[in-house]
Structure 1
Amino acid sequence: MIVAVREAGLTHVKCFAHTVNLASQRALKIDRVNRLLKKLRTIVVFFHRSTVANALLKQKQGMLQLPDHKLIQDVSTRWNSSFEMVERYLEQQPAVLSVLMSKDVRKTEKDVVLYETDLSNAEDLVVVLKPMKTITTILCDEKQPTISLIFPLKHQILQLMQVIEGDTAFVRDIKEAIIQDINKRYIDEEDYLLLTSAVDPRFLSLPQLDDERKLAVFSSLITKAATLVNSDKIMKVKQEPDDGVATRKPELPELPGPDLNQDKAPAVTPVTVKQESSAMEELFGDVFVTHVQPAKSTLQLLEEEVSVYKGEECIPLLCDPLEWWCENQYRFPLLPRLAKSLLCIPGTSVPSERIFSTAGDIVTAQRATSSCDHVNMLIFLKKNLKQ
């Protein structure tokens, strides 16, 4: 697929949700983190298999006034399931510890007990990976996961994962692993991602860049928009057919000439008559312009639009950038064409993958004879019908 995109001369941008998953998975593969997850996984499996332990857990939850939640078991292919497993364990840790210390539960104490250091590391792991979980939730939104989110989110991850004074060695290893993985992503596509963020009214201020880099981004925006506008123009020149026959004008009737035999009349002194102003002159005399200003080029018009656009205030993050451009397309006649062509690109493949999952739920053995049109309609209704 990547080769096909390159051969077509297009820009390939990888799914950012997949990128976040790879960076988080790299952090979870650190030895100390991996050992912690194995211990937690052992405890969760123990409670899932033991009906006695599960029943005691519910009793302890009621006594300690904890939420009636089950422990979560992670899946190796989903890093956020490991995060949720640790987070749920910390939530239920008092009840779990009370059950494990009960004499009514058969257990191997070495395998299912976490020590104080393990609990401290688990708390640090949740704090460090919390932003990654929030970003994953944002990208899983099917309405506004636009490509313009990628650069701001990547920059935010790099800022949050900076090692600060007071970080333990455990936290430092996790942050460094995530930074090393994120830094090598989207290097060749950075200019393209900056362009998409510039046309998003939520991020038009580009606070991550200095003034020189901002100027370069908006200059590139003007060039791209001018190219797109010029390609859309269709010049139709209508020419009349030339059949080689000149059109003759009708001859004017011959006026009677002077009578040569008549005696020459005396010369008459011409009298200057003051011309009366016409109604058109009275109406348009003060505003009539004989000199017309030359029309501005597309490039000049775009420079003016971008200058006005840069002065706009950023819209709230929860607003839809495409709706903003639809509402302001009369103020900016040229820029919306470029903005819509870029903001319609999703920054993640999660919504499309969900469609495949929906199709798998619809096309079952009981519906094996359904026609393609029927299946397409059912998928469409499932994804678009408001509950």
Structure 2
Amino acid sequence: MEYHLTLDDNKFVVCDNENKMKSCFKDLYTRVGCSIHYLNEQLQHCFSTDIIDKMPVDCDIVQEMFDSIRQIVSHMRRSHKQSKLSRKLQSYSDSRFNSAFYTMDVFLIVLDELAGILDRTYMNDYMLIDKDLLASVCLFLKPFEEVIEQFSCDAKPTIYKVLLLRQYLLNHYKIHPDDHDGMQQIKRFLEKRIQDIWISQDVHYTTTFLHPSMKNFHVNPDLQEKAIELVQQEILKRQPITPSNTFTPTTTTPARTNALDSKSTASKGLLSYCFDIPKNDLQSTSISYDELKEYIALNVQLTEHDDILHFWLQQKLKFPILFSMVQDFYAVPALNTSIERLFSSSKNTVTDKRSSLGAEKINKLLFLQKNLTLLKSFDKKKSIEGNTDEVKRKMIEQPSSTISNVNEGQSITTITKKFKTNEDDITLSDDDYEENDEVDLF
């Protein structure tokens, strides 16, 4: 291979969840499924598929409503009547994540405005739309959009969010007695599909446990035991000679907290609902120092906006093995859409005029394109620092130049005075000579 890639069990490959991709990346490395693809596929099936895996979807109430909405939206966009609406209608697209939510959400906003604009041929479709059901569906789908936004961040680690946000969505499917029949159908279908299709992997358990605000698995405490076992196994791999890493909890005094302990989870973002509830009396072990035991006993609460990598950088000396695990596992993204964007960028980079570019040059060009904004910010910082240093240098040089000018002026004045004194001396000596000559003549 031109890029000289070496693949083994320690390498992670993030790809979508099609059968061809699964069969292609099943050996020699660890395949991680794209979390957004898992979620988006089930949402597509919910609104646009009758049968999946030889089983009926059974969401006919919502699908009929969604078909009516799509027909009205398509007509309004073709007839150019949407200029009379307060919002531009959004067409449904299979290639856009959670596209059904965008279509229905905008449609709900302008639903009352459509009554006076629609043609009579589409009034039957309009009358079939239950506004209360539509509002309930949009409200139900909003957390899915927030989860997709959480996974889509490519500037910070996202892999540790997958397990608990998946569990958060499963808890979101709870059926209430007053739910519409269409809502009950959606909740049953999505709950079953996500449990069966969206399978959590070992890296999800490990990375979730390595977040100090998620290690107790408040959303689902049953997941903690498996996470601890996986972390113990990884510690044994990275530390061949260890006395004992078996975890047997006993009651002790509360653990100390550092400067980050004072931070509370006051943030009301989606991820904050997955954080552990702070405990006043912490249960831990009181045996000799052990990284896993010390980490479990650590009473630190990070907010949703805190930098998890900065936290582990501060704990590098205290937890060296766990820190090395964070370095390896937190580099794995939760989705592969950023890689797909790079494929699109490479297509635009390698054109008919640039057909002979080597792999190394393409790699550098893609790196510059992806990190151009970040590199510009570094350049701005350097230019600002350079201007500041230049101003400081000028401020320092200005008084020194003034002093040097004063010294030069003083030295010139001194030389002039000396020169005049010498001239006077010379004049006096000449007069003396003249007097002496006159005396000699007499």
Please, what TM-score do these two structures have when normalized by structure 1? Answer: 0.70
Letter in 2 for 1:54: Q
Which of 1 and 2 has higher RCO (CA within 8 Å, sep 6+)?
A: 1
Percent identity, aligned pairs only, is 20
Q: Find the partner of 2:145 among 133, 153, 156.
A: 133
Q: Give the structure with the higher percent helix.
A: 2
Residue number in structure 1 paired with 2:165 = 153
Q: What is the DSSP-based 3-state SS (H/G/I as helix, E as strand, rest coil) of the residue aligned with 2:320?
A: coil
Alignment check: 8 A CA contact 1:149 1:197 kept: yes
Within the alignment, does 1:89 sit opposite 2:114 as a pair?
no
Within the alignment, does 1:71 sit opposite 2:82 as a pair?
no
Q: 1:302 to 1:78 in 2, by over 3 A?
A: farther
TM-fit CA distance, 1:346: 1.2
Residue number in structure 1 paired with 2:340 = 353
Residue number in structure 2 paired with 1:171 = 183
Q: What is the DSSP-based 3-state SS (H/G/I as helix, E as strand, rest coil) of the residue aligned with 2:32?
A: coil
| 1:249-302 per-position Cα deviation (integer Å, ceiling 9, x unaligned) | xxxxxxxxxxxxxxxxxxxxxxxxxxxxxxxxxxxxxxxxxxxxxxx7484999
- CA–CA separation in structure 2 for the residues paired with 1:99 and 1:366: 51
Letter in 1 for 2:159: I
Letter in 2 for 1:357: S
- CA–CA separation in structure 2 for the residues paired with 1:119 and 1:215: 45
- CA–CA separation in structure 1 for the residues paired with 2:141 and 2:369: 33
Q: Find the partner of 2:69 among 15, 19, 40.
A: 40
Q: Pairwise mapping of residues 234-245 of structure 1 onto structure 2 (< 5 A)? A: none
Residue number in structure 2 paired with 1:17 = 36
- CA–CA separation in structure 1 for the residues paired with 2:150 and 2:331: 17
Residue number in structure 1 paired with 2:214 = 203
Q: Pairwise mapping of residues 1-387 of structure 1 onto structure 2 (< 5 A)? A: 1-3=21-23, 5-8=25-28, 10-29=29-48, 30-51=59-80, 53-55=81-83, 57-58=84-85, 61=86, 69-78=87-96, 80-100=98-118, 107-110=119-122, 113-115=125-127, 117-187=129-199, 189-210=200-221, 214-215=224-225, 217-230=227-240, 297=243, 299=245, 304-310=290-296, 311-365=298-352, 367-368=354-355, 372-386=359-373
Q: 1:224 to 1:71 in 2, by over 3 A?
A: same
- CA–CA separation in structure 2 for the residues paired with 1:98 and 1:367: 55
Alignment check: 8 A CA contact 2:207 2:329 kept: yes
Q: What is the DSSP-based 3-state SS (H/G/I as helix, E as strand, rest coil) of the residue aligned with 1:13?
A: strand
- CA–CA separation in structure 1 for the residues paired with 2:223 and 2:79: 60
Please, what TM-score do these two structures have when normalized by structure 2? Answer: 0.62
Letter in 2 for 1:115: M
TM-fit CA distance, 1:141: 1.2
Letter in 1 for 2:98: N
Moved more, 130-139 or 107-116: 107-116
- CA–CA separation in structure 2 for the residues paired with 1:170 and 1:303: 55
**Any stretches of 5+ residues in structure 1 without a counterpart?**
62-68, 101-106, 234-295
- CA–CA separation in structure 2 for the residues paired with 1:222 and 1:303: 15
* Number of aligned residues: 303
| 1:121-154 per-position Cα deviation (integer Å, ceiling 9, x unaligned) | 2212111111111111111111235322211011
- CA–CA separation in structure 2 for the residues paired with 1:12 and 1:366: 36
TM-fit CA distance, 1:373: 4.4
Indicate the RMSD between aligned Cα atoms, in angstroms. 2.8
Alignment check: 8 A CA contact 2:43 2:190 kept: yes
Q: What is the DSSP-based 3-state SS (H/G/I as helix, E as strand, rest coil) of the residue aligned with 1:308?
A: helix
- CA–CA separation in structure 2 for the residues paired with 1:161 and 1:144: 28
Q: What is the DSSP-based 3-state SS (H/G/I as helix, E as strand, rest coil) of the residue aligned with 1:12?
A: strand
Q: 1:209 to 1:41 in 2, by over 3 A?
A: closer
Q: What is the DSSP-based 3-state SS (H/G/I as helix, E as strand, rest coil) of the residue aligned with 1:197?
A: helix
Letter in 1 for 2:22: I
Letter in 2 for 1:138: Q
**Any stretches of 5+ residues in structure 2 without a counterpart?**
1-20, 49-58, 247-286, 377-442
Letter in 2 for 1:163: I
Q: 1:111 to 1:97 in 2, by over 3 A?
A: closer
Moved more, 172-181 or 143-152: 143-152
Alignment check: 8 A CA contact 2:173 2:187 kept: yes
- CA–CA separation in structure 2 for the residues paired with 1:136 and 1:365: 36
- CA–CA separation in structure 2 for the residues paired with 1:302 and 1:132: 45
